[in-house]
Structure 1
Amino acid sequence: MMDRQAYDQLDRQLTKEERKEMFQEYAKTKDQELRDILIEEHLYIAEILSKKYANRGIDYDDIFQVASIGLIYGVERYDPSKGYEFSSFATPTIIGEIKKYFRDKGWTIRVPRRIQELSKKINNAKVTLAQENQKTPTIKDIADYLNVSQEDILESMEASKVYSPTSLDLKFEGSGDDKEVNLSDLIGEDEPYFNQIEVNDFIEKAMEKLNDVEKTILIDRYYNKKTQVAIAEKLDISQMTVSRIEKKVLEKIRKEAYKTANV
């Protein structure tokens, strides 16, 4: 089994089979070196998911740190004997940690308690003074009512704007022929590889069910971009046989995809 020193000397990522063997070994031994290697090998998942939730009021680095913690939980809890791919198991675990982090932020980040308490008092004072005087209270009115300085009132009101997260469902009027758009449509950026995680898992599982000839034809046709004639020469079979096997393999994958989508 590969140890830390051997891993550090590698000039490549582990193969799927190497990762699978390492997960199996870790499930038995709980060796910390294996755990660390597996975490490093799958940090790309935490990175992809962190980018998905960036630009929503919290720094990317903070989100990535939380996602990495979720990844650690995933590595520690993953049971390879269940048969599903690690990325399929880890992705919802990481997303759960990120969403929990967003929920727990409340006002978002490190707001002094006195600001939070004064903000509540200001809101109550606004309602009370507006009812009593039948007009919108000024900063001075609120400060006199709460017996605090106007500077404190202004500080708390500004802090509320800065630290209170704006709902992603907030709507803006579009320009021209555009209709209303949500704030969530204007921020962030879709990570092109986000959905690719599950697709890769599906393809890897489908490939495991193919024989060597079928794998060669599929890889050469759709990854190496070779013609059926070139593949036929390589395998020393007819071009018609290559075409027949290719159609058979694609039909297998279509059926598997349909089955997976309807589970």
Structure 2
Amino acid sequence: MTRLTTFPSPSSDVDAVTRPENEPTPDTTPVLPTAPGAADTEVDQAEVDADVAEAEAVVADQAPPKEPAAPVSENRKRAERTAPLFVELASLDPEDPRRERLREILVEEHLPLVRHFARRFSNRGEPFDDLLQVGTLGLIAAIDRFDPTRGVEFLSFAVPTITGEIKRHFRDQGWSVRVPRRLQELHLSLNAAVGELAQKNGRAPNPSELAEYLGIPRSEVLEGLQVANAYRSSSLDERLSGEDDSPTLAATLGQEDAALEGVEYRESLQPLLATIPARERRILILRFFGNMTQSQIAADIGISQMHVSRLLAQTLAKLREGLLKDE
């Protein structure tokens, strides 16, 4: 069975952003969570290396490698080009006006990395622009905290910082209804399993297949699928796309059909109407479908208005009794 990667608590994210010194990622350093509320789980260093290698390929405008790979020449050139900037940035006084310009240059150099991770997470219910903004804040934090004297490449330090900011955003903003961490983790595992099984089988997997694939009871699968409803709520005024002229969610909802509400009553009354005498049935038709007054009905049928009133009351009581019996 394919191993599903789980991730640590968002507290690790804060560590990556706020610690005063950047340090090489040790073998036990956890990869940051893919979504809010992931459990603390240690992973192999190879997984961290794969994430960094992917980032290196993105910065070099190449397709992400499937296996950890050595930095390509363009990355080396970029590192050599930005290394003096990091050294200069670290040497400047916090109030020095040159710091802002250096930060802008370094941010521009590494924005492709932020865009890549924003795209990676954009299919999880949060807008791409929001993720891009949050990831950029993580990049700026990484630039400010990076210590070039420790001999660690910037990407190795920046990747967990950027992804940490994005994943903390999911933790704080993603779930519109707070659910237990166990169910959040289960939701993530199911999302990954659905993608893998759909690609393998050429169709969407059913709950039983997901349960067998993950080695969990089918009831847990159903619970995990149901918890997705708590992930994100939407406003009826929300645009279906990012364009200002796109329709709102409310525009896609059908209008209330008043006539539809009467279908059940008409279907229930039809067999009851067949049981009442023809004269009483005609009185009902003239009163409720012909909109005639009792005096007009009396003149049409040839009886008194008081008699019409009495027959109408008796007939309605009989129909009401029949409806209550059916219930």
Instruction: Provide TM-score, normalisation by structure 2.
Output: 0.31
* Relative contact order, higher structure (CA 8 A, sep 6+): 2
Instruction: Provide TM-score, normalisation by structure 1.
Output: 0.38
